[in-house]
Amino acid sequence: MNRPPSQISPHGGSRVDLPGRYGPIAALHARAAATGHPPPTALLVPGYTGSKEDFVPLLDPIAAAGLDAMAIDMPGQYESGGPDDEDAYLPATLGMVLAELVGKLAAEGNQVVLLGHSYGGLVARGAVLAGAPVAGLTLMCSGPGELPDGPRRQTLDLGEPAMREHGIEAAQRMREQLDAMNPPRPGNTPELVALMRERFVRSQPAALLGKAHALRTEPDLVSSLARTLHVGGIPCLVTCGEGDDAWSVSSQRDMADRLDADFAVIPGACHSPNTENPTELLATLLSTWRSWLTA
């Protein structure tokens, strides 16, 4: 399949083993130059219908800054398999699995900065609550709990019965019809739209259904996360696009205040600064991560 330049991956693809019933997941890597000791690792976790390809614009610049970059498909997502069990894809459950992956990287001598985008932020939060040994946590375009009312939640509400009754292709057609009724999102080229369609229909239905349920029911766990960050001395950054249409900018700013975290708004971006304005996002991420890793 042809992909737009921002989505073509010249990076090393691999399979990463996960514990128990999840099996291997797909990952993209960009390696920092060898320095004789393990470099820090930026572990990048995509959102609900996203994939590792969402982070392609970030991988090489992160590696050039001296960090290994690893972007993954979550279990059940695009090129990663997973069990036929909706509960296996809830944030706390996936968080425990992600915590084990972080633990493996840390055992190899790598400091790990963990970034979760949207639903991936809820999973990254779950990983930290499960004891993931991270050097820092970045929550990007993610919120304190369930997705608030709005077009994205409406899509979930309509998509679930369509998928259960008619299958994943019917749910995708419904998504496309709803998208056509809204203003086009920044950077949505025909090639990117094709990728978005392919990865949706190749995902495990149980994964999409389980994550959709969580997006409508996830409790506010900010206080618990704040305690964990404080006790562990783990720094945190909350960042989002200035036009984020999932969780509002104000709700994410409030979450940052409750976490005693840094907060940054990325101009010229909505819900996906990683593809909509990667240059500004990278400036924020790299300066913040450097301060964490040299503290």
Neighbours of 257 (CB within 10 A): 13
Q: How far apart are CA 234 and CA 44, in angstroms?
A: 17
Global pTM reads 0.91
Say what the pLDDT of residue 68 is: 97
Instruction: Write the CA distances from 249 to 143, 150, 265, integer angstroms.
Output: 9, 14, 8
Confidence of residue 295 (pLDDT cuts 50, 70, 90): low
Say what the pLDDT of residue 185 is: 63
Q: How far apart are CA 261 and CA 142, in angstroms?
A: 14
Is the separation of the CB atoms in 73 and 80 below 8 Å? yes
pLDDT tops 50 at residue 54: yes
Rg (CA), the chain: 18
Confidence of residue 6 (pLDDT cuts 50, 70, 90): very low
User: Domains along the chain?
Assistant: 12-294 (3.40.50.1820)
